[in-house]
Structures are given as C-alpha cells and as structure tokens.
Amino acid sequence: MADTYVYFQGPAGPIPVKVIDEGDGTFSFPSHVTATVGEMTANAGANLNTSLLALEGGNLALIKADVDKIPAQGQALAAASMPVVLTAAQVSTLTPPAAISGYAQESGGNLAAIKADVDKIPALGQAVAAASVPVVLTAAQLATLTPPAAITSVQDGGPSWTSIMATTSSADMSAAKANLIAAPTAGLKAVITDLLITAAADMTLTLTEETTNADFGKINLKAGVPFHFSPHGKWKTTTAVKRLQGQTSGAGQIDILILSYNEA
C-alpha cells in the first residue's frame, strides 16, 4: 500500500507528514506528532498552523498550472509569448534603430525603375523590329552566320498567256471587210491585248466580229498619227473561232498590228 502524506505550512514552506492508515477509513498521526486545536507540533518543536494544510491537489496543482504557462526558450510568435509591459521611464530610454541608408519608396525609387525596365521585355514570339529588343553581334559571331541562298527568277516572267501577233497592210480597205487576226483555235475565242494603227489619210476604222457582225467600235484616225490602244479589260470576241474584222470609211494606205491570245 502506498504511503499517505498530509502537507501543512511551516515557516519555510509546506512540510509533508506521513500519516497512518487505520484501515477503517481513518488516519492517525505518528507518536512523535502532537495535534492540538488549530495547531500541530512535530518532534522538532515547530508550531504548525493546521488551517493552512492542503492536499497535493490544492495549491501545488495551482502552482503547476501557472508554471506550465512559462513558454519554451527562444523566439516565438506573439500568441506563444509571455506578455510584459515596460514603464514609461523604460520606454523613453529605448534607442530607435538607425535610419536605413539608400532606402526609397516604390514610387520613383529603385523598384519603380526596375519595373520600368522589366516592362520593356517583349512578348514571346516573332515581332516587328519596333517591338523587339535591340541586340548586337560580335564580329566573331557575324563571321559564323550563313547568308541566305541567292534568290533566283526575280525578273517579270511576262503575261501568263502566249501572244499572237497579226499584221495587216492595205491601200484601200473601204470596199469590204478585212480579216485582222487569224481564226482562234477550235472552241476558243480571241482576246485583243494591243492594237497599233497608222493611216496615210484621215479615215474611220470600224471593227466587227466575223459572221456575227458584233460591233467592236469605231476608231477615228488622223493622217500620219499613230494610234495605240491597250484595253484594260478583256476585249474579247463573243463567239468561238471567229476573227476580228475591219473596214475603213475611205481609200488610203492603212497598216494595222494586233496582239492577241486565245482562251475559252
């Protein structure tokens, strides 16, 4: 069976006294302890105030609860630290930290300057020169670059069609219509691209389509003055395999050069 103690207040603090378990639910003091009303005397002769006696579950338990509040050593968050307060006299003696040299607020300071430079970084991907970062290569790097291959076929290849040239010369084309071009290939029509005419006298040249007599217009010619006509649109016969014909309003030498091609 475990020993049982009672504690009572002595001049120097709590004093444990072992008591005897009588077995019937009561306890008695040893023979060397004399108890009187309100006091208890030990063999050492010290008077003990029994009104201050307390079991372990009393003051010691309260003391332990308070001791448990002492935080661990080292820096900690405010919620895990012991609160203290300084007197006004102590606060006035504190020395504030020295000013930080070179410090500047973000507005107009180093951070603002850094952001201004970072904003110059372009978006990823190819861009025009005005939206790109300028760089310069060293002479050694330039020497390692491979120039692009020569670009060939830069000359104009001319029209996509095959031109057909036809010439007509007559001293008098007023009596009947004359064929000014050869008949187009079967199923195709003639497209006139250039027309060059000179006449020895003033006259009018009437242009029509073979057989259908479709009107292609009249050209007033002045003696000795060359006439050149290049249609911007397609000047095209209306019927396949039909030639362009011409007839003048009077006699006189006339020379005609026509460039054309055939298409459906």
pLDDT digits (tens, 9 = 90+) for 140-177: 998 899 888 887 766 677 788 999 999 999 999 999 99
Comparing 14-28, 170-184, 208-222, the range with the smallest average pLDDT is 14-28
Q: Which domains does the chain have, with CATH numbers?
A: 4-59 (no CATH), 164-263 (2.60.120)
Largest Cα–Cα separation, the chain: 174
- Rounded mean pLDDT, 171-196: 96
CB 196 within 8 A of CB 254: no
Rounded to whole angstroms, how far apart are CA atoms 14 and 17? 10
Residue 48, pLDDT > 50, answer no
Q: Mind listing the pLDDT tens digit for each residue in 69-123?
A: 899 999 999 999 989 899 999 988 999 888 877 665 655 667 788 888 899 999 9
- b/e per residue 43-71 (b: at least 16 CB within 10 A): eeeeebeeeebeeeeeeeeeeeeeeeeee
Find, among 165, 154, 233, 175, the residue nearest to 196 by Cα: 165
147: CB partners within 8 A, 6+ apart: none
Find, among 210, 211, 205, the residue nearest to 255 by Cα: 205
Q: Which two tokens stand for residue 159?
A: 């029209």
Q: What is the mean pLDDT of the chain?
A: 84
Q: What local confidence, expressed as pLDDT, does residue 144 receive? A: 92
